[in-house]
Amino acid sequence: MNRAEERPDPPYVRIVTELRRRIAAGELRAGDRVPSNRQLAKEWGVALATATKALATLRQEGLVRAVPRVGTVVAPSEPPSAPPAEPSPRPSRRRADPDSTQELTRERIVRAALGIADAQGLAALSMRSVAARLGVPTMSLYRHVPGKDELVLLMADAVFAEAELPREPPPGWRAQLELVMRLQWSLYNRHPWLARALSITRPQLIPSGMAHTEWALRAVDGLGLDLNTMLLVHIMVLGYVRGVAIELEAEAEAQAETGLTSDEWIQSLDAMMAEILASGRYPMLARLSAEPDMKSDVDTLFEFGMRRMLDGLAVLLDAPRNPGR
């Protein structure tokens, strides 16, 4: 017998093969959670990196996908994600391509891209994955969108357009800034990838997002600030919301990879934490650990930080202007 035939498959391949079998046999159906990398590592007695590689392979094959706040689930079979979605060398397939291209619009492409990014994160987005979702050749997308970078900007513009600012602002700068901060926070919650797509130091041209800038500048207009300070106030407010929101995608990715919620992950550290705190070196942390109902989730962080930021701005915006300061 050939030595190559005697050599066993790598551990991650065996895991992939077994999960493929479960999906094909219907033991795991579309939408069912598959074991997390930690569960697989324990079940198969392999390293965490090996289990992670197995799940990554299944994701690349389109058999599973990561769902924010749920975990890794079996992907639905309807959206083509394999060769049928790509151009085939057969003449009949090529004849169908022009019709598919004519049916394409920029709006359809953006909607498909949003579906991928919302479900799997920005890392899963590519021109190829969008084409597969739409069932068209990849090259047909470039007639409508120059590339991925431009597509992400179109996606961000579509997302900001979801948050319609009221025609009549509430009275007072604080209410106006709080309103736009809450609107942006709601967008980041619906689209966790958005925070990483934006830049504070190199702002992109996003027309719907510029409406938020205009709103923030008008909120502090007429309060004695120069234009540069007004802009800095807007950037600080935008940067705060975005900074906290970055944790939304990171948490969704961590939950998909580990199968553990944030609370479950913290609980998994209880024994190790208790051993460290028993040393007596960290009395304040020991008090925190003993306190029931402590809250530090992202929504609590956002609310607390937003109020403190607005309190700080009140010192600047509500104080009498002193030219000598």
DSSP 33: B
What's residue 27's pLDDT?
Answer: 86
Cα separation of 196 and 215, whole Å?
A: 22
Encode pLDDT of 86-102 as tens digits. 443 333 333 333 334 44
Cα separation of 124 and 94, whole Å?
A: 27
Q: Is the pLDDT reported for residue 113 higher than 70?
A: yes
Helix (H, G, I), strand (E, B) or coil at 71: strand
Query: What average pLDDT score do residues 100-119 get?
Result: 83
User: pTM, whole model, 2 decimals?
Assistant: 0.63
- Beta partners for 66? 72
Check residues 86 and 122 and name the one with the higher pLDDT.
Answer: 122
Q: Is the pLDDT reported for residue 263 higher than 80?
A: no
Cα→Cα distances 281→139, 278, 292, Å: 61, 8, 21
Check residues 196 and 251 and name the one with the higher pLDDT.
Answer: 196
